[in-house]
Chain A
């Protein structure tokens, strides 16, 4: 079975600083994808960034980057230059071939950006 763990229920960060949100995963499948979603207070799920298990380089999308450490089974999200609009819940998720490619979510981290 696959599992996603986010150990930080809540975090504060000062505006304009960088922040790292932790995510560890467990799967025996060699082929999998890792995703981060943002859920603002309005409730929608917004896709942020994707990392494939065979990708050699860490994924980047604008101010978002994914620190992928395959041997440690971690896929931390790094947000650079935090903005007030980054305040939201952040979910790490994984899809793996041996789990029918179904998306499994972690419990989320609530990020609060201080002005």
Chain B
């Protein structure tokens, strides 16, 4: 069972470079999310999507962009990487956006910006 998959697992970027973090889910979930986790901290929501073609900002969206062209994929784009974006990035999905719905997480991408 694949669930939520993320690529790459690790990446080192130089300041000012750009990259796309990939996320795919095979559970036919409507909702997808991107979080970042800074060392020793909980997760913070960057962006989320309620379905193909619909995205919205979370708590910490600055410096990131997303798109959702299909139900399965929800890539996160970093433009002009900065050291403050060094973090672990998690993608998650849930069937719906109800308060009762469990979010299932991918394995994470560890990003370092030097």
A interface residues, Cβ below 8 angstroms from B: 4, 31-33, 35, 37, 43-47, 50, 52-53, 91, 93, 95-97, 100-108
Contact = CB atoms under 8 A, between A and B. Distances in A.
Contacts of B48: 102
Interface of A is mostly: strand
Interface of B: 33, 40-45, 48, 58-59, 88, 90, 92, 97-108, 110
Contact of B105 (A45, A95, A100): A45
Contacts of A44: 105-108
Contact of A43 (B44, B45, B88, B92): B88
14 contacts: A4-B42, A33-B98, A35-B102, A44-B107, A45-B90, A50-B100, A53-B99, A95-B98, A95-B101, A97-B99, A100-B97, A103-B33, A105-B42, A108-B42
Given A52-B99, A95-B99, A101-B97, A43 B108 contact: yes
Contacts, number: 67
What 8 pairs across the A-B complex have the smallest Cβ distances?
Answer: A105-B42, A45-B105, A33-B99, A95-B99, A101-B97, A105-B43, A44-B107, A107-B42
A13 B106 CA distance: 29
B98 A101 contact: yes
B99 A96 contact: yes
A104 B59 CA distance: 10
